[in-house]
Amino acid sequence: MKKFIIFFFFLTTLFSNSTISFSAEKAAEPMSPSWSFKGFFGTFDRASLQRGYQVYTEVCASCHSMKHLSYRNLSQPGGPEFSEEQVKIIASQFEVRDGPNDDGEMFDRPARPSDNFVSPYANDKEATAANGGAYPPDMSVLVKARKGGADYIYSLLLGYEEPPEGISLDDGVYYNKYMAGNKIKMSNPLSEGIVEYADGTNATEDQMARDVTTFLSWAAEPHLEERHKIGFRAIIYLIIITILVYFSMKKIWSRVESEV
């Protein structure tokens, strides 16, 4: 009996400690703001996409790559829709390694619209070393790769807080209530007025988080609007076919009934 009591006490203590540990690591549910691109008829806000690209370039691009996106994508229908001239100017601000030339040597040149976004690091190991051992993920399809999608990315950007009493953080680690375990190695990237929007919009933390999340959502699904249009046309087509079939069958059965 004594052994049973000791064993029961051990299990109770273990369960209690586990519960406390798990509750401390449980992330808060992401916020769910309204997104223009959600829903069957969803479309991207062009102004928000352009502002989001600006936030990515000025805040995120120093650590995070977007290797699956090319500069010419910025002018495609359904996206930020920069003009071709604007895209040429945007691309020319970056340098890419090219070659070999006629002398067999590699050389640097200004990027062209056909080039993929230039990565801030030469390789993954350099990226990891430069960020204290934490690899900054590529942002091309980040929205699709994270559970919660746009809501999670938006919430994470606004989820930085001072750690609650009793929680200690190592150097270079920050508290974020939306991150699994509530600990993240990326410092808060957004602060009031860190970006001066070209269109004059007030660059609050919330506005920047919304805009860059919208841009990342488009990057992950650049053909979303086209898919919505195709889906809508398909439904209209099916409705018309259904109506035609209904009246055709009705006419056929009317003849059968009249013969009887």
Name the average pLDDT for the chain.
86
Taking residues 61-79, report their average pLDDT.
Answer: 95
| Burial group, residue 155, by CB count within 10 angstroms (0-12, 13-18, 19+) | buried
pLDDT band for position 25 (cuts 50, 70, 90): low
Residue 260: per-residue pLDDT: 54
Highest-confidence segment of 1-15, 22-36, 215-229, 234-248? 215-229
Segment 164-208, tens digit of pLDDT? 988 889 888 999 999 989 999 999 999 998 999 999 999 999 999
Instruction: Give the residue-averaged pLDDT of 42-69.
Output: 96
What pLDDT does 166 receive?
Answer: 86
pTM above 0.75, yes or no: yes
- CA pair distance 43, 54, nearest whole angstrom: 20
The CATH number of domain 24-69+116-222, selected from 3.40.50.300, 1.10.760.10, 2.60.40.10, 1.10.287.610: 1.10.760.10
pLDDT of residue 234: 76
Q: pLDDT tens digits for 138-173?
A: 999 999 999 999 999 999 999 999 999 888 898 889
Got the DSSP string for 199-251? Answer: T-----HHHHHHHHHHHHHHHH-TTHHHHHHHHHHHHHHHHHHHHHHHHHHHH
